[in-house]
A and B are shown apart, each in its own frame.
Chain A
Amino acid sequence: MRAIFWKELSDHFGKKRFNLMLGLVLVGVAWAAFIDKDAVVSGGTGSFYLDLFTTTDGVPLSLLSFLSFFGPIIGITLGFDSINSERTQGTLSRILAQPVYRDAVYNGKFLAGLFTLTIVVFSLGIAAVGVAMARYGLPPSGDETLRLIGFGSVTIAYLAFWLALSMAASIFLRNAVASALVSIGVWISISFFIVFAATAVADRMVPDVQDLADQARHTNVQLWVGRVSPERLFSEATGTLLDPIGGRILNPLGVAPERLQGLLMSPVSAGQSLQLVWPHIVVLLAMIASLIGVSYVRFMREEVRS
């Protein structure tokens, strides 16, 4: 697996797609350079380094929105042709004729993609924070640093989901173009259309909203259905991690919103925020694991004709 990992890694960093990743890091730098520092410091949550990712002052959209938009593309780019291109080129038979297990081929490729994602996400984060620090003067606090690391990790898990999905597509679909289109199609449907789906389900289950309780139930159903989407999990988790005050409104365990009201307006610690988003992370990881499982089952047993 070691050999496959290094080969894939040098592919990721040697090809044109690397420019895309480099571009992403530069965007992080540009964002940190262009945000309206004074507006961020005076407004927002009072935590400069967290607001760096969520503010829209001075930039067209927040860095977080940018990441949640381009992240999946990066994940898909790294995986959509990983297996089927080897098949089309006829290299898969040749590799599998060497003393390597089939799962090592999959694992090597997945880990190389994951490693690349990690490098990209952390370079982007460190570059952005670095530039911001030069402008702001003060380094991030311990609590902010923890939150940023948590934010980075959730982002990596989110991109890893798209990597696992596009790799599954590359196993099930022989054609790289088809696999890219299907991956992008899944991304668009679960990121955008889930809103409609969630509303539709909620309308069904709570057909006529009369009072506030009905309204709350309607919203709750909407929320829970929406969480089928990794995009929703990602935005809820990152929203919570990046906002010590507002982020706690998050309702992960179905606690009635009334009970949270009283607790509002006093910031929580990074540890408490992490606890709140822990279920989100677990669900995201479970989604990744099931995609890997499906890929394994198919790839291990399949016939490899040259």
Chain B
Amino acid sequence: MSELLVEAAGLVKAYGDFLAVDGLDLRLSEGEVYGFLGPNGSGKSTTILMMLGLTEPTAGVVSVVGHDPMREPLEVKRQVGYLPESVGFYGDMTGRQNLLYTADLNNMRLGDAKERIDELLGMVDLTEAMNQQVGQYSRGMRQRLGLADVLLKRPRVIILDDPTLGLDPTGIQWLLGIIEELSTRQGISVFLSSHQLHEVQQVCHRVGIMSHGKIVLEGTVAELTEQTASGGFGLVLEVLGGDDGLMATLQALPSVKTCNRVGNEIVVQSGADVRAQATAAVIASGASLLGASSENRTLEEIYLRYFAGQES
């Protein structure tokens, strides 16, 4: 079984009364590319900040490469590369000098660092511009330098926060190509946040769709697209109580593909009608069934519901 590199349970971030992240559960397995998708303001960046110890969770736990980012930040940061939403460099230094500083912060030996930097600058196609001051770089060049910066420390996991923001379609395709290559060739796990669902989902093994601080749908792209194609069945159960055992029972019902819980709501996606079996299972588990409704939450529907007018 592959190791869990990111694991979050019941993660909450409150700003006053406002819940930017509202009880999030997340998992990123070794080798996986996870698409963390949602419109602007849905809480993606806040979640990422909590994964890196850049802001303190209000409640819940998060563990990255097996460590608590607030308690053992160095363990996390040695193995995790992070590309912030709008990456910044020292404008009065050249691209190469900026990377050398990052290497120094990572305690890399100078010889090793130089070799690695040249290699990475080649990969992101900045060899010619490497001795120019970053102040003169375009947005796309900065983003590419950011990617080189993230990879410098040879991370196991990279966390990219909305990296396609402000890139033209060619830039986006280039970036997605690199991500695919890092994942397949170098076995780097990728946590990719984006507000551009259509563009990004092609490289993701699994996606979670965020809305108002919650994951409203999660699954492999294959599952989700299959549902789109076949129609599938969606069932929303409103349940009080119930534990992991209930979730396992529901998951084990014939033709059930995914089964997710957000607060009191359990969403069951299946290939056939499982309403009778599912409601019986809830009652048998001792939990109270407050309501049940059929709903087809297909990917297309999700697109429309959460991303309408949000794609840029």
Identify the A interface with B (CB < 8 A): 3-4, 6-7, 89-101, 301, 303-306
Task: Find out whether the CB atom of B87 lies under 8 angstroms from the CB atom of A97.
Answer: no
Task: Find out whether the CB atom of B84 lies under 8 angstroms from the CB atom of A94.
Answer: yes
A contact residues around B90 at 8 Å (CB): 89, 91
- Can you name 22 A-B pairs with beta carbons within 8 Å? A3-B101, A3-B107, A6-B104, A89-B89, A90-B87, A90-B88, A91-B89, A93-B84, A93-B88, A94-B102, A95-B105, A96-B54, A96-B77, A97-B77, A97-B80, A98-B153, A99-B105, A99-B106, A99-B153, A301-B56, A304-B49, A305-B55
Is B223 in contact with chain A by the CB < 8 A criterion?
no
A contact residues around B197 at 8 Å (CB): none
Question: Which of B55, B89, B146 has a CB less than 8 Å from the CB of A304?
Answer: B55
Q: How many residues of B contact A (CB 8 A)?
A: 31
Task: Find out whether the CB atom of B54 lies under 8 angstroms from the CB atom of A89.
Answer: no
Write the B62-106 contact mask toward A (1 if CB under 8 angstroms, else 0): 000000000001100110111011111111000000000110111
Closest to A96 in B: B54
In the complex with contacts A303-B49, A306-B85, A99-B54 CB distance below 8 A = no
Q: Return B239 CB to nearest CB of chain A, in Å.
A: 35
B contact residues around A305 at 8 Å (CB): 45, 49, 54-55, 85
Q: Return B305 CB to nearest CB of chain A, in Å.
A: 28
Q: Complex formed: what's the CA distance from A301 to B106 in Å? A: 22
Closest to B74 in A: A99
A contact residues around B218 at 8 Å (CB): none
Q: Complex formed: what's the CA distance from A95 to B56 in Å? A: 18
Question: Which of B45, B102, B146, B161 has a CB less than 8 Å from the CB of A98?
Answer: B102
Write the B102-136 contact mask toward A (1 if CB under 8 angstroms, else 0): 10111100000000000000000000000000000
Most interface-central of A98, A301, A306 (chain B CB within 10 A): A98
Task: Find out whether the CB atom of A4 lies under 8 angstroms from the CB atom of B105.
Answer: yes
Identify the B interface with A (CB < 8 A): 45, 49, 52, 54-56, 73-74, 77-78, 80-82, 84-91, 101-102, 104-107, 146, 149, 153, 161
Question: Which of A94, A99, A100 has a CB less than 8 Å from the CB of B88?
Answer: A94
In the complex with contacts A89-B90, A91-B90, A305-B49, A101-B84 CB distance below 8 A = no
Q: Return B127 CB to nearest CB of chain A, in Å.
A: 21
Q: Complex formed: what's the CA distance from A93 to B101 in Å? A: 14
In the complex with contacts A94-B149, A98-B106, A99-B74, A306-B86 CB distance below 8 A = yes
Closest to B142 in A: A90
Q: Complex formed: what's the CA distance from A89 to B91 in Å? A: 8
Task: Find out whether the CB atom of B101 lies under 8 angstroms from the CB atom of A7.
Answer: yes
Known: A90-B88, A94-B146. 13 other contacts (CB 8 A): A90-B89, A94-B84, A94-B88, A94-B102, A96-B52, A97-B54, A98-B105, A98-B106, A99-B77, A99-B105, A99-B107, A304-B55, A305-B49
Q: Return B270 CB to nearest CB of chain A, in Å.
A: 40
Q: Complex formed: what's the CA distance from A101 to B149 in Å? A: 19
B contact residues around A98 at 8 Å (CB): 77, 102, 105-106, 153
Q: Return A4 CB to nearest CB of chain B, in Å.
A: 7
Q: Complex formed: what's the CA distance from A48 to B146 in Å? A: 59
A contact residues around B161 at 8 Å (CB): 306
Task: Find out whether the CB atom of A304 lies under 8 angstroms from the CB atom of B54.
Answer: yes
Task: Find out whether the CB atom of A90 lies under 8 angstroms from the CB atom of B86.
Answer: yes
A contact residues around B101 at 8 Å (CB): 3, 7
Q: Complex formed: what's the CA distance from A171 to B85 in Å? A: 21
Closest to A95 in B: B105
Q: Return A100 CB to nearest CB of chain B, in Å.
A: 6
B contact residues around A3 at 8 Å (CB): 101, 104-105, 107
Q: Return B50 CB to nearest CB of chain A, in Å.
A: 10
Question: Which of A4, A7, A92, A97 has a CB less than 8 Å from the CB of B52?
Answer: A97
Q: Return B283 CB to nearest CB of chain A, in Å.
A: 44
Q: Complex formed: what's the CA distance from A275 to B74 in Å? A: 45
Q: Complex formed: what's the CA distance from A92 to B74 in Å? A: 16
Q: Return A176 CB to nearest CB of chain B, in Å.
A: 14
Q: Complex formed: what's the CA distance from A184 to B217 in Å? A: 54
A contact residues around B54 at 8 Å (CB): 93, 96-97, 303-305
